[in-house]
Amino acid sequence: MTSVVSFRDPGGSLSLAGDRVIRTVRPEGVENFAAYLRSATVRRYAENRSLVTTRILDGDPAARRAPIVLEHERVPFPSYAHEWPAEMLLAAGDLTLSLAEDLLSEGLGLKDATPHNVLFEGPRAVFVDVLSVERRHERDPIWLADAQFTRNFLIPLLADRRMGLPLQRTFLSRRDGMTPADALRLIRWPRRWLPPYLEWITLPARASRLERPALYRPRLMRDAGQARYILQHRFRRLRKQLRKLSPQAGSSPWLNYENARPSYSAEQHAAKRRFVAEALDAMSPRRLLDVGANAGEYSLMAAQAGASVVAIDSDPAPLGALWQKARGRGAAILPLVVDFARPTPAVGWRCAEQTSFPDRANGFFDSVAMLAVVHHLLVTDQIPLAEIFDAAAQLTRRWLLVEYVGPSDPMFQRLLRGRGELYRWFHRTAFEQHAARRFETVFSREIPGADRCLYLLRRRG
């Protein structure tokens, strides 16, 4: 089955055919694509795996009136800006600016600046829109994607950091980021006239009222060097502005949870780590989903054991910290802001441009870890236990590493908030009976001195 997932570029379209990523370059886009192929910058970025690798299946770039069919290397698990912590959006913006600046010396540029052009392979940003590269007029000092970069990177990061608007809300409701006019409504009057709001939001929002077609007429400089100097200065300024929005340590109660470990003594924590290490050795996972990953202690263990990990949590703060750790260590971990109880929906035209998290995840992983998360789903989200194990069986092809947390556990008691009568039925036997419908137990171990037990389960069938 083939589905078209990108169609807005007049130069071509992108389709998924099973596991293959196929792009058709229309005649209108062939000249730019031929310049893309000749670019030394493109080759360097592809060699560094910062730009998707591409091979021609059909057609000849020299025959400018005929379409070309390409195949891109598939990024194993696609993700979207509404699933990224701020650190990842910033990295995508930095890659976009670097590529745009480095292309200048070859008379090329980027015609758009959107996070839709970037995917992540583990913690590494990869630019994937080859048709975004175009020939530019050598004396043109204007980057027409400048305002789009501000809408998609600067303003969302500013709104996330200073205005309390999470990236997830910005990008789930808007395809092309946040306009200055939209952002202006969120800022109280005195702050509108202070930096950085004045430059990025207030003045552009007011200037948009004066917008005229004449503003977009080309204004060429006397020589190419002058135009290139102006653009280089603009890119450096945008990068400086972007880095000012680097996320700061947040106030999330879960950010330091792993270090504080309020639910475990040192001995109990050591016992849990030993069990996880034994389970990983038995599983030999290739693709592992870590549900409720927090700052990723067990994601890092799985990556060290050779797994490619997708780590999900509803809190972006610890995931941002995990992304930084993974990038620093070269660990194959992709952290995503996904609430397991309310996963990312399908969005875009006909709900087909960006698929839902379950559609991407179900059956993709050979292993799933749900450590210290089932009781949250059961109590806070009120998901029936049978449904939790059914969902786990859909996600994993083979292994489930799961933790039972009983009603007498302090964290369980904290979640109950006086609703203990609702969970009188819940005990370890009930947990095991529900698990047995979809999984068989390989081995298990109680955590000493706690109403907790760890299980390695194998999917039935």
> Residues with Cβ < 8 Å from 273, sequence gap 6 or more?
301
Lookup: tokens for 46 = 């592809």
Average pLDDT value for residue range 396-421: 91
pLDDT digits (tens, 9 = 90+) for 63-108: 777 899 999 999 999 999 999 999 999 999 999 999 999 999 999 9
The first and second tokens of residue 103, run together, are 């292309």
pLDDT tops 90 at residue 396: yes
CA dist 379 and 269 (Å) reads 23
CA gap 19, 331 in Å, rounded: 24
Mean pLDDT of the chain: 92
Round to whole Å and give the CA distance between 22 and 14. Answer: 6
- Predicted TM-score (pTM) of the model is 0.94
Task: Express each pLDDT in 344-361 by its tens digit.
Answer: 999 999 888 899 999 999
Domains in the chain, start-ordered, CATH in brackets?
257-459 (3.40.50.150)
Sign of the alpha-carbon torsion through 258, 262, 267, 268: negative
Asked if residues 292 and 370 have their Cβ atoms less than 8 Å apart, the reply is: yes
Read off the pLDDT of residues 149-192 as tens digits, 9 standing for 90 and up: 999 999 999 999 999 899 999 999 999 999 999 999 999 888 89
User: How does pLDDT run across 295-327, given as a tens digit for each residue?
Assistant: 999 999 999 999 999 999 999 999 999 999 999
- 3-class secondary-structure state, position 189: helix
